[in-house]
Amino acid sequence: MPRYALKIEYHGTPFAGWQRQADQPSVQGAIEAALAKLEPRAHTIAAAGRTDAGVHATGQVAQCDMEKEWDPFRLSEALNFHLKPEPVAILDCARVTDDWHARFSAVERRYMFRLISRRAPLTHDRNLAWRVNHMLDAQAMQEGANHLIGKHDFTTFRSSICQADSPVKTLDALEVETRQEAGQTEFRFHVRARSFLHNQVRSFVGTLERVGAGAWAPEDVRLALEARDRAACGPVSPPDGLYLVGVGYPDDPFTQ
């Protein structure tokens, strides 16, 4: 069966997450339903990462196996037609080898988290960013973030329901970007690693927000990391501001 890689964008708010669920809407379920319109049968797709309820994506990658050969452009166009009106779009599609896997072939995942500091509630960015009504110190947050970069036991920043075999991961980058606009400041946390633990990025951001607010010192992040204790973690940020923005492969199927 021919295999295709799909690059996917979605607004996560109306979904219970990526993973198919029997009684709740999911991104996986929406795409599999669209595939069934093209080839009537049960479809099972696999993604590079399973995002939680309310989490968005601008660069999720998944694979699908079809019974017939499709022109990649026509397959993406047909899927987008049948995905309407769901807030899910196929940005690109590529034919891949039978042994290529969206999850296991990936060597890097990139996430971005949007945090907006302003007094007024969000309107255009509602459900697309986390709003706080106080100022944050970007330099302090970056100093705290620097303690997390590298190979560590991230038990402190791991959800209690995480199913990963080990809490040891290597964080390649955690950069805090600041964007000033009239009436607000947006902080973007750019995070990169081969793989992540459940709620790891949201645990990072929630903890660093406490640093930016002055409730924690940057050095407290190191102490929390070394504690290897979930109770030492700061608050977990809401899912609204989290985006899966890219997945890296040794040979990018979308640039072949």
Name residues whose C-beta falls within 8 Å of residue 77's C-beta, 6 or more positions apart in sequence: none
On the question of pLDDT at 256 being above 80, the answer is no
Q: Do 3-105 and 108-245 have matching folds?
A: yes
**Domain residue limits, the chain:** 3-105, 108-245
Which amino acids are annotated catalytic? 52
Q: Strand 242-248 relative to strand 56-65: parallel, antiparallel, unpaired? A: parallel
Question: Is it the case that residue 220 has pLDDT exceeding 70?
Answer: yes
**What average pLDDT does the segment 6-21 reach?**
97
C-beta separation of 219 from 132 below 8 A: no
Residues 6+ apart with CB under 8 A from 189: 112, 113, 115, 145, 174, 175, 176, 177, 201, 204, 205, 208
pLDDT at 182: 85
Strands, DSSP E only, in the chain?
A: 3-10, 46-47, 56-65, 88-96, 108-117, 130-132, 150-153, 168-181, 184-193, 242-248
Q: Over 90: is that where the pLDDT of 161 sits?
A: no
DSSP 3-state of 180:
strand
Model confidence at 163, pLDDT cuts 50, 70, 90, reads: confident
CA 168 to chain centre: 19
Output the six-digit token pair for 207.
Answer: 């903890």
Rounded mean pLDDT, 22-36: 97
Span between the terminal Cα atoms of the chain, in Å: 20
3-state DSSP call for residue 251? coil
What is the average pLDDT across 3-20?
A: 98
For residue 77, pLDDT beyond 80 = yes
Residue 85 one-letter amino acid:
P
Question: Residue 160: its pLDDT value, please?
Answer: 87
Condensed to tens digits (0 to 9), the pLDDT of residues 84-113 reads: 999 999 999 999 999 999 999 999 999 999
Residue 229 reports pLDDT greater than 70: yes
Q: Are 35 and 46 in contact (CB under 8 A)?
A: no
How many whole angstroms separate alpha carbon 240 and alpha carbon 235?
A: 15
Any idea which architecture 108-245 has in CATH?
A: 2-Layer Sandwich (3.30)
Over residues 45-58, the pLDDT tens digits come to: 999 999 999 999 99
Fold of 3-105: Alpha-Beta Plaits (3.30.70)
Rounded to two decimals, what is the model's pTM? 0.96
Residue 191: pLDDT band with limits 50, 70, 90: very high
For the chain, the average pLDDT equals: 97
Alpha-helix residue ranges (DSSP H) falling in the chain: 27-38, 72-83, 138-146, 200-213, 218-227
Strands 108-117 and 130-132: parallel
Tokens standing for residue 75: 């397959």
For residue 230, name the pLDDT band (cuts at 50, 70, 90): very high
